[in-house]
Amino acid sequence: MLHDWINWIVATVNGWGYSGIFILMALESTVLPVPSELVLIPAGYLAHRGDMNVVLILAASTIGSVAGAFINYYAALWIGRPVLERYGRYFFVRPALLHKTDQFFMRHGAISTFTGRLIPGIRHLISLPAGLCRMPIAVFAFYTSLGAVLWSMVLIALGYFIGNNEAVLRDHLPVVTLVTVISVGVMLTAYILWQRRRATVE
């Protein structure tokens, strides 16, 4: 059954092509539950078979991810922000808390957006606080793109090298996810230490 299911996913991604990858990854970057693993790993396997191009897969994935992230960003900016400013006090979000959140994202929005894009379960939500806090669009686009490229490369590589082996893929995907989360933790720790050292020097 697992073999048939994986074959169906591969056939679906192949049938939808690059536009399908773009659409699915855009949806994955919003609040809709479309796991990127089910899109990019089969796409990587199709690239291994010669049915798709790795560069075009990466481009479609990255552009789709950024497009979906901007949907969240602007939804939070145009809808979420006015609602919180007007009615936030009824949900324990007072102006002082909103101001503190703005200050946090002004100082740490770049690292938060970048690392958030690498953590499953958080990657599709990190755009919301960025929009709420009016993170500069250029900075948001750059770090969102950087995180999307790295995450896409990992999943495409998995599909390219071991996508035709269900057992190996099933065993290695949790390890890859764990290593990614640990790497993010290391980056955040290094960033915090750097910020503390910078504050001490100043």
pLDDT in tens, 12-37: 666 778 888 898 888 888 877 677 88
Length of the chain: 202
Mean pLDDT for the chain overall: 76
For residue 99, the SS3 value is helix
What mean pLDDT comes out for the span 160-176? 62
Which tokens is 195 given? 């910020």
Let me know the angle formed at the C-alpha of 120 by 7 and 25, rounded to the nearest 5 degrees.
55
What type of residue is 15? G
**pLDDT 10s digits, 96-111:** 666 676 777 777 777 7
Per-residue pLDDT band for 64 (boundaries 50, 70, 90) equals very high
Q: How many CB atoms lie within 10 A of CB 21?
A: 26
Give the pLDDT of residue 163: 60
Residue 1 has pLDDT above 50, yes or no: no
Q: Give this prediction's pTM.
A: 0.75
- Region at 32 (left for phi over 0; alpha for psi -120 to 50; beta for the rest): beta
| Confidence tier at 2 by pLDDT (50, 70, 90) | very low
Mean pLDDT of the region 181-198:
60
Per domain, the residue ranges of the chain are 2-201
More confident residue, 149 or 189: 149
pLDDT tens, position by position, 68-93 = 999 989 988 888 777 766 766 655 55
pLDDT reported for residue 42: 82
Local confidence band at 67 (pLDDT 50, 70, 90 cut-offs): very high
Query: Which DSSP state fits 94?
Result: -
